[in-house]
Amino acid sequence: MSIITKIQVQKINKERFNIYTDSGNGEEYSFSVDADTLVKFNIKKGQSFEPFELEEILNADQLRKAYLSSIVYLSRMMRTKKEIEQYLTKQEFLIDTIQTTIIRLVEEGYINEEKYAESYVRTSINTTLKGPTIIKNELLAKGIHNSVIEKSLILFPKDKQIQHAISLCQKKVSALSKYSTNQKKAKLEELLRRKGYSANITSIAIEETQYESEEDDELQALLIHARKAKKKYEKLSGWEYTQKMKTVLFRKGFPIDLIEKAILILEEEDLN
């Protein structure tokens, strides 16, 4: 049995108290509690307690600390149960304390994963061009249940997805001027898949994308590749040269009629 010999306010945190006890070997520091725990257990000088009573006090104090720490963490932004668990784990709270704290936070409405998911989807739609698959994966990583995510993604309808996907394509297409139309579409498809859009949305967006001066741009892109190929095969002549050029350029996705036009342009450049 231990007897409380002194209760002292901490110097740094005035809301916590150091408890000193004597178990028969003289006074020594035993533990600390906050004001709420001090009042709850009516802790006072001269009070005696058994080991199991001390354990109850310390458990209650840890729950109080975990709860208050979580409230501060939640005050900055909404959090998921998984995020709270990770945060409290870093604070070195025991798993039982963490789970009990999370249950309390859910019951009191501080954690609401349905509202969190809806808010996350809205923010992603308004501030990014991420597709639904990317958003879903990010929410899964935060511990949100799949059914909750699917319900929140109703906020990201097909027409809005198409609009965002087209915006992505339009931003990218200007940087693809050296590629053939087929290559452009392939690269845009890769981009949209990577950004989390479905095959259906991707297909629609690529077809809706505006390829300004498409034939002129494609011809200019083709000429870049054609000149490189010409340097490689300029030692060939006649039919063999023409076939090599056509084969190489066709493999890069350019249409045969445009390839023939490019070859004629190169021939005219040689004459000049």
Q: Residue by residue, what is the 3-state secondary structure of the chain?
A: CEEEEEEEECCCCCCEEEEEEECCCCEEEEEEEEHHHHHHCCCCCCCEECHHHHHHHHHHHHHHHHHHHHHHHHCCCCCCHHHHHHHHHHCCCCHHHHHHHHHHHHHCCCCCHHHHHHHHHHHHHHHCCCCHHHHHHHHHHCCCCHHHHHHHHHHCCHHHHHHHHHHHHHHHHHHHCCCCHHHHHHHHHHHHHHCCCCHHHHHHHHHHCCCCCHHHHHHHHHHHHHHHHHHHHCCCCHHHHHHHHHHHHHHCCCCHHHHHHHHHHHHHHHHC
* Contact (CB, 8 A) for 87 and 110: no
The reported pLDDT for the residue numbered 211 is 67
166: tokens are 């087209």
- What CATH code would you report for 116-155? 1.10.10.10
The reported pLDDT for the residue numbered 123 is 96
The structural domains of the chain, with segments of one domain joined by +, span 116-155, 157-212, 214-272
The reported pLDDT for the residue numbered 69 is 96
Single-letter amino acid code for the residue at 8 = Q
**116-155 and 157-212 agree in CATH topology:** yes
Considering the entire predicted model, what is its pTM? Answer: 0.72
CATH classification for the domain delimited by 214-272, as one of 3.40.50.300, 1.10.10.10, 3.40.50.11390, 2.60.260.20: 1.10.10.10
The reported pLDDT for the residue numbered 156 is 98
Mind listing the pLDDT tens digit of every residue in the chain (272 residues)?
Answer: 789 999 999 988 888 999 999 888 888 998 999 899 999 999 999 888 888 988 999 999 999 999 999 999 999 999 999 999 999 999 999 999 999 999 999 999 999 999 999 999 999 999 999 999 999 999 999 999 999 999 999 999 999 999 999 999 988 987 887 777 788 899 999 999 999 999 999 999 999 987 654 556 677 778 888 888 888 888 888 888 888 888 888 888 888 888 888 888 888 777 65
The reported pLDDT for the residue numbered 212 is 57
CATH architecture of 157-212: Orthogonal Bundle (1.10)
Strand partners, 21: 4, 28
Q: How far apart are CA 173 and CA 249, in angstroms?
A: 20
